[in-house]
Chains A and B, each alone.
Chain A
Amino acid sequence: MKQLFEWIDNRTGIRGLLHEALYEPVPGGSRWRYVTGSMLVMCFVTQAITGILLWMSYSPGAQNAWESVYAIQFQITGGWFLRGIHHFTAHAMVVLLPIHLLQVVVDRAYVAPREFNYWLGLVLMLIVMALGLTGYLLPWDQKGYWATKVATNLIGLSPGGAYIRKIVVGGSDYGQYTLTHFFALHAGILPALLVIVLIGHLALFRKHGIKAYRPELGNDEFFWPYQVWKDSLAFFVLLVVICGFVWWEGGAEFGAPADPTEAYKAARPEWYFLFLFQLLKKFKSEFVGAIVVPGLMMLFLFALPIIGRKRIGHRLNVGMIVLLICGAVYLTGEAMYDDRYSEWYSAPGAKGSKKAQQLYSDSKEYLDSVEIGETESHRAQILAQEFGIPKEGMLSRLRVDSEIMGARLFRERCASCHAYRDSSGKGFGGLAAAEGDATEDNSAPLGAPNLYGFGSRAWLTGFLHPEKIVSSDYFGDTAHGQKDADGDYPSGGMVAYVHENLAELDETGKKSLQDVVVALSAEAGLVQQKGADEQARQDGTIPRGIDAFQNTFKCSDCHRLGESGGTDTAPDLTGWSSEKWLIGMISNPIHESFYQETNDRMPGFATSEDPDKNLLTPDQIRFIARWLRQDDVVLP
């Protein structure tokens, strides 16, 4: 063994190299405060290892990127953990970088003769940030796509930047070449540069030796094993924390596939770029906010060794760098505060300050969008799981899914009047959402019923309740729910009926009314209620309900149900809330089966024979109807 080592050493000189590398004296002995640099190197090695292994399963391409990350995340054994480590180690590096920088500045390790080493360190910091930026796009999910789009648009602002942007993006629009370019940058060019600069950084570090902090406090020690022990223990602890994050968060975030035609309203950069994002809001000119100010900050950082030649300059530097870090922390905090405002404070109401109202509604919009993003992401995962991913990419599957498209269309076309919110207020749309926007006099009808659970027993039970029917969840914000001076409901036959006939029911009456609810809701044939409907059909509740509909409550005096009853003024309830009924209602609410002249403000979305002239296509209306009925929530 010894002979073999001798032989190798004779041919390579490895003993000398090892000795050189390991037996670097540390003046004053090993210290915990020296660990940040080594930790960063170890983080980078971790990124290289996990990155290359991720690379083995990743495919950059508009129809492949999201899809291959899906496989990593959900199909490949341990893939989610590998991706999680890669993701959170990147965060750890961004946390360690400013600490390392601050330490170098405070300990005055950036002045002569270590200027070049300091500059290389700054270059390394920029490379790490570029790695973060390019990596964010690679999963090709909505968040990464839209946030990165903003970032590349900003490149276009610098002189000649539009050309650089076009080369980086690989054309005018995001597409295949954007992914191949970003991937080459992320996995090839940037890491190679990083390695080269890192070698220089370490070589210069060795050349000048460690800038010891008060060496008189201890005896000199060698780098190995004393400092290495501290370095590796520190990194190990960090890794445990990283693994904790991965475990706790269930891996790295993964949104729905990027869709260039469907903007993601909650597009935010990764948290470590939030200070730059917030900075953009502060300046009238984007050029100043995105290029000049960050550019000056970088210039200042590069000038540090020159400013720091004198004692006073060094003090200035320390002050400025602390100020910069505090500023970045403040801006990050402010960005988070703005976004989460509505989570922490209740609605300011009409009396609150305009500013508070604006903050509240913006934040509400943001949080709703986050929620929507999570719903879509979850849905995409379920679809991939149940149907597999088509070769054309997951997006082609999403575009024919009623859960995705119905919700998108509803938000775009219906939600300015109708809310879709469950009892806890989760969901979107409806004017009730923007409490701040409500007009001072609540006289004018502003909205339309909340359609969450439309067709279900619960929805109908609320509708037939004297108080609830005039709440904003039902007819409260419509013409039907408006009282005139005499306390009547001139255009609200249903509201008047509920108030007059259903307010003071005895126990038998209440039970009969429940039968009506069950019978009518069964007309919808909701998938979710299938079992309950079948049960009701067998135990006679439905026939009882239909009988009560016709005789006890005289509903058929106005509403048609099946073969009998009905007038011109009330909707036909045959097949109420079935797919066909909803399609008819959305297409043309003034059709003879629906509201006719008592229609409030519901537009007809497909009233023309010529499909080109309609507000919605037949497919779109079907998506909305199926989504409202929650037909495809559970896949067959």
Chain B
Amino acid sequence: MKNEPSHPRPSEDDRRNALTAIGALITGFLGAIIPAGVGVVTLLDSLRQRPKPRAFRDNNSGVNSSGTGDYVRIAHVDAVPPDGQPRRFTVRMDQVDAWNFTADYPVGAVYVRRTKEGEGKVQVFHSTCPHAGCSVAPSVDGQAFHCPCHNSAFDLEGKRVVKTGKENPSPRDLDQFDCDPEKLAEGEIWIRFQNFETGEEEKKPML
């Protein structure tokens, strides 16, 4: 150190300092924003609806369970018990999961029951509890749907009921699907399957 020649003190020329500071900030910002930005863009890709592979685009058995697709077949009406008891059906659709595409794959489940009043009339419920997304199941006596997580309960019509001594935390009744009327007339149950947001009073498609 002692042999080094002495230097003049750093300049305090404000204008030159300010310009350099701006330059440093800009290049620093760009240096950080380019890799980080590209990274964030890939992350935001999750918000995009992922398309089916081209060979399957015309196959109208639904895109994925967020439901922009068409009607999917659930069952024949005769496969539902005539006594009004609900039966659980697995919903099979073409599924896009990240890089995997699987045609005709189990993506969820619905409960179907025949209503008493008319022959051939059915109700189709999503098997997911509208409260927090657990899966409801018919109670032991077959008179209601119970959710095993937080005590939600629904009657066979899907309406909320209060279990003895407990609050029913569900914000809405079980989510119901409309059947394709033409197919139903032929005895076939077809629905537009999709998942719904949980925990809200309004039934709206899962984002």
Residues of A within 8 A of B100 (CB): 62, 175-176
In the complex, A550 Cα to B46 Cα: how many Å?
Answer: 71
A333 contacts B by Cβ under 8 Å: no
B137 contacts A by Cβ under 8 Å: yes
What 0/1 readout, one digit per residue, does chain B (188-207) give for beta carbons within 8 Å of chain A?
A: 00000001011110000011
Residues of B within 8 A of A62 (CB): 97, 100
A167 engages B81 (CB within 8 Å): no
B91-143 residues with Cβ-Cβ distance < 8 A to A are 97-100, 106-109, 127, 131-135, 137-138, 140-142
Given A176-B98, A267-B149, residue A283 in contact with residue B169 (CB < 8 A): yes
In the complex, A171 Cα to B46 Cα: how many Å?
Answer: 5
Given A170-B98, A263-B134, A280-B132, residue A286 in contact with residue B199 (CB < 8 A): yes
**In the complex, which residue of chain B has the Cβ closest to the Cβ of A167?**
B46
Residues of B within 8 A of A433 (CB): 140
A170 engages B148 (CB within 8 Å): no
A553 contacts B by Cβ under 8 Å: no
In the complex, A59 Cα to B168 Cα: how many Å?
Answer: 40
B166 engages A358 (CB within 8 Å): yes
A361 engages B140 (CB within 8 Å): yes
In the complex, A365 Cα to B134 Cα: how many Å?
Answer: 15
A154 contacts B by Cβ under 8 Å: yes
B47 contacts A by Cβ under 8 Å: yes
Mostly, the B contact residues are: loop
B171 engages A176 (CB within 8 Å): no
Among A260, A282, A615: residue with most chain B CB under 10 A:
A260
Given A162-B197, A263-B127, A267-B149, residue A177 in contact with residue B166 (CB < 8 A): no
What number of residue pairs across chains A and B have CB atoms under 8 A from each other?
A: 157
A465 contacts B by Cβ under 8 Å: no
B66 contacts A by Cβ under 8 Å: yes
Given A169-B46, A261-B106, residue A154 in contact with residue B140 (CB < 8 A): no
A249-282 residues with Cβ-Cβ distance < 8 A to B are 260-261, 263, 265-267, 277, 280-282
B151 contacts A by Cβ under 8 Å: yes
B159-201 residues with Cβ-Cβ distance < 8 A to A are 163-167, 169, 171, 195, 197-200
**In the complex, which residue of chain A has the Cβ closest to the Cβ of B78?**
A613
Interface size for B (C-beta < 8 A) is 55
**In the complex, which residue of chain A has the Cβ closest to the Cβ of B90?**
A261
**In the complex, which residue of chain B has the Cβ closest to the Cβ of A438?**
B141
A612 engages B134 (CB within 8 Å): no
B164 engages A173 (CB within 8 Å): no
In the complex, A169 Cα to B45 Cα: how many Å?
Answer: 12
A170 engages B169 (CB within 8 Å): no
Residues of B within 8 A of A284 (CB): 167, 169
Given A280-B132, A357-B164, A615-B87, residue A365 in contact with residue B207 (CB < 8 A): no
Residues of B within 8 A of A282 (CB): 167
Question: Smallest Cβ distance from B89 to chain A, in angstroms?
Answer: 10
A290 contacts B by Cβ under 8 Å: yes
B133 engages A150 (CB within 8 Å): yes
Residues of A within 8 A of B198 (CB): 153, 156, 286
Given A150-B134, A167-B43, residue A359 in contact with residue B151 (CB < 8 A): no
**In the complex, which residue of chain B has the Cβ closest to the Cβ of A439?**
B141
Among B50, B97, B127: residue with most chain A CB under 10 A:
B97
Given A362-B151, A416-B138, residue A281 in contact with residue B167 (CB < 8 A): yes
B108 partner, pick from A156, A260, A357, A434, beta carbons under 8 A: A260
In the complex, A355 Cα to B79 Cα: how many Å?
Answer: 36
B57 contacts A by Cβ under 8 Å: no
A156 engages B199 (CB within 8 Å): yes
In the complex, A167 Cα to B64 Cα: how many Å?
Answer: 17
Residues of A within 8 A of B169 (CB): 280-281, 283-284, 286, 289
B167 engages A267 (CB within 8 Å): no
A260 engages B167 (CB within 8 Å): no
B132 partner, pick from A150, A166, A365, A610, beta carbons under 8 A: A150
Write the residues of chain B forming the contact surface with A, with a CB cutoff of 8 angstroms.
Answer: 43-44, 46-47, 50, 64-66, 75-76, 78-79, 81, 85, 87-88, 90, 97-100, 106-109, 127, 131-135, 137-138, 140-142, 146, 148-151, 163-167, 169, 171, 195, 197-200, 206-207
Q: Can you sample 7 A-B contacts with CB below 8 Å? A: A146-B134, A173-B97, A286-B132, A354-B164, A362-B151, A416-B142, A612-B79
Q: 5 extra interchain contacts, Cβ-Cβ under 8 A, other than A167-B43, A280-B169, A437-B140?
A: A153-B199, A175-B97, A261-B107, A284-B169, A286-B131
